[in-house]
Amino acid sequence: MTSFVGNDYHLSVKDLTEGNEARTILRFAVPMLVGGAFQQFYNMVDSFVVGRFVGKQALAAVGQSFPVVFVSVALVTGITLACNVLAAQFFGGKRDDGVQSVIDTSIVLTRWFSLGMTVLGVAAAPFILRLMQTPDDVFPGAVLYLRIVFLGSFASFSYNTVSSLQRALGDSKTPLYALIASTLTNIFLDFLFVVGFGWGIAGVAAATVIAQTVALLWTARGFKRNCPCFTLRFRSIRADQAIAGRIAAIGLPSGIQQSLVGAGLMAVTGVVNGFGTNPAAAFSGASKLDSFVMMPAINIGLAISTFTAQNLGAGRVDRVRRGLRSAAVAALLIAVAVALAMYAFGKVFMGIFSADPEVIRIGYEYLRIVSLGYAAQTLMFCFSGVIRGAGATVFTMVMTLLSMWLVRIPCAVAFSRVRGTSGIWWAIVVGYTVGMIGTVLYYAFGRWDRKMSDWKNTGAPPAERLRESGE
């Protein structure tokens, strides 16, 4: 059994348990934020290329596919979140044996999961799109796009797993460089395949799969170079049963939570589809902008999760609380700024995706209304970051069930009958607000830090407790 020693090791990974909390979180978050922005940017480029060079039906088709892909990615996100939390806690507890076990187990789980999702996604794509009431003129392109993207599931899921492990060890720069390389590849291939070769939606989907493969290869190479104390292998490895059980305990609630979000997006998309192709196209473009401008809040929340996991592993709940306060203020200021930008210039931004006046009008209406909920959503992401980092993922699952399925979707159906598509947009704001209130209340009154207290009271590091208890 080895320990964390040697200058090379500390140059490779980053300890988040020391130093000023606000600076530590924000410095760690910046590469993630930039990387997330690049990731959303190439999604926007997909929509721009098909919207401008193929047509609004193609734009709507890509939009229809997004929540379906989101559900599949959400399921593997549960695995990657659990791996991130466990690896970071082991690292904070100075136990590299636990970290290596998490790495091996996560790769095995991701490999089998991606195989299952590929088969299921290719076979079920038409059925799912029919359930979403996809317009007839959009349906064929959406099926084609989905099937091609699902064929590339292994690269996408494996990238998410490896990048999550890198962030757990304090390396948020390598995933950033991978996303930059992936984005540039995707943009080049989008124009080559669609504008140059005339492949239409198939060209955009193929470009996405190739770009995701580039991201995986880059992160795998970076992991080997920057984390030499650990081994990243895709063959001849076995899952550790104790670790796999712990990943399931943490990851399944998170995966279900994210799947509920994706399924909720599918349900909301179905409500929008009932109003025709123009609203479907507008929703596709506007939601891409929406995802882009929320990147700062999402990535600060992810940074808080890793920060929390490492510090709870080291028994430093005081740093967690101080770090959350500072990071939440910074994220909230950014959210207010981007909300003002969307409110003032949303019509210009919508013009990126379509020249159709009605599509632009509906999309601008979406941005003006939904931007009013950015502050609430930002606070929800930040407080959820602490809760996830502590491993209390059951609560986040329950909160998503409440805010999405018991509030947002019923409100979208009810409001749309009175106010049309604008009622759907107001339902989104209501869902954000309810989610924020519930998350803040749980942080204030819930026992999310109980596992840290157990470790501190027993004096045993988390890796040793996991081995001895079989948790």
pLDDT tens readout for residues 61-83: 887 877 788 777 777 777 787 88
**Cα–Cα nearest to 382, from 326, 337, 445, 340:** 326
Measured CA to CA, the distance from residue 242 to residue 271 in angstroms comes to 43
Tokens 């049309």, residue located: 420
Mean pLDDT of 385-395: 83
Q: Is 413 exposed, middle or buried (0-12, 13-18, 19+ CB in 10 A)?
A: middle
Q: Which residues contact 305 (CB under 8 A, 6 or more apart)?
A: 81, 84, 85, 385, 386, 388, 389
- pLDDT band at residue 372, thresholds of 50, 70 and 90? very high
pLDDT at residue 55, rounded to an integer: 81
- What is the reported pLDDT for 412? 93
The predicted pLDDT at position 14 comes to: 62
Residue 222: its pLDDT value, please? 84
Q: pLDDT digits over 130-185, tens only?
A: 888 888 888 998 899 999 999 988 998 888 888 888 887 878 788 888 888 998 99
Global pTM?
A: 0.67
Q: What is the mean pLDDT of residues 417-421?
A: 91
pLDDT the model gives residue 289: 84
Quickly state the pLDDT bin for 30 (edges 50, 70, 90): confident
* Residue 12 reports pLDDT greater than 70: no
* Alpha helix (H) residue ranges in 137-240: 139-151, 153-168, 173-190, 201-226
CA distance 433 to 77: 24
| Residue 415 predicted with pLDDT over 80 | yes
The answer to whether residue 13 scores a pLDDT higher than 70 is no
Where do the H-state alpha helices sit in 351-420? Answer: 357-370, 374-389, 393-400, 409-419
What's the pLDDT tens digit per position in 99-118?
888 888 888 888 888 899 89
On whether residue 322 sits in a domain, the answer given is yes
* pLDDT surpasses 90 at 434: yes
Is 7 part of any domain? no
The C-alpha atoms of residue 323 and residue 215 are separated, in whole angstroms, by 30
3-state secondary structure of 315: coil
Type of residue found at 126: P
Least confident of 297-301, 322-326, 424-428: 297-301
Mean pLDDT over residues 186-204, rounded?
91
Our count of domains for the chain comes to: 1
Q: Does the residue 18 lie in any domain?
A: no
Find, among 4, 410, 283, 387, the residue nearest to 170 by Cα: 4
In a domain, 54, yes or no: yes
> Is 296 a member of any domain?
yes
pLDDT for position 276? 86
Q: Of 8-12, 32-36, 347-351, 465-469, which has the strongest mean pLDDT?
A: 347-351
| Domain assignment present for 119 | yes
Give the confidence band of 286 by pLDDT, cuts at 50, 70, 90.
confident
* Amino acid sitting at position 428: I
| Section 341-345 average pLDDT | 87
Do the domain assignments include residue 470?
Answer: no
Q: Is residue 369 part of a domain?
A: yes
Domain range for 283 is 26-465
* pLDDT level of residue 407 (50, 70, 90 thresholds): very high
